[in-house]
Structure 1
């Protein structure tokens, strides 16, 4: 340890003002006990007041009981709603699975039906057996629909 006198030789380490020595490191050179404080004497009225304030009144206990019941009810209600939501999600998932299976079956049936139809055989039968012919240009009538995407023909289209 080194004696510190004034400003010269001042080090950034901690300086003990009583002895003028500085401590290098983190070891304790001398342990001093903290003096205990004396307890003040409190009057009997103050002690009685403190004891009364530490006790809970009946109204406060009832308020706490009602609040506990309300919180319990809210928690039970929340859990009930959460379980209903989970059940609805599982039902939705099951319905989506059914839908995708039905769609796949429908697409497979449609593909099978379309592939089973032989258009060349139908054309051949229509031309040879039924005497049908392809239409000529003057037999084709072009019609532009108004607002809908398809046209239903309820009667013959007039020639004009």
Structure 2
């Protein structure tokens, strides 16, 4: 009970410390008289200050160069990204143009096939044969005048007085 009283009564002026360690009060440093400095000490201090100043300037230059390099790299990366996006956009537009042209080609091919079919269906081959034989005096070739020829390069053969080898 006396301990509780001690804590209550002295709580304003002192704090009770539990345990075996007591905090030390901070002690002020003793006041010393300034010592007289030598000129050599002043020169040495100035040299050190100049050296420190030069080192700081060098560090600032390095920081500036580093910053310029980082900005340059970022500008380069930004430029590459912009060009990549422009190329990607061009590829998309060209792809759309190719699709449009393929559709147009398909329509023209279908139209060409229909026109060719109409042209071939309007030809009267019997009439052509009749005019060729009766009016122009043409004859069908005999067996010894027809040669079979296999060509890998084209669908027809033109000859100008040359012999064509027969395929057997």
Tell me the TM-score normalised to structure 2 length: 0.48
When Rg is computed on C-alpha atoms for both structures, the one with the higher figure is 2
TM-score calculated relative to the size of structure 1: 0.50
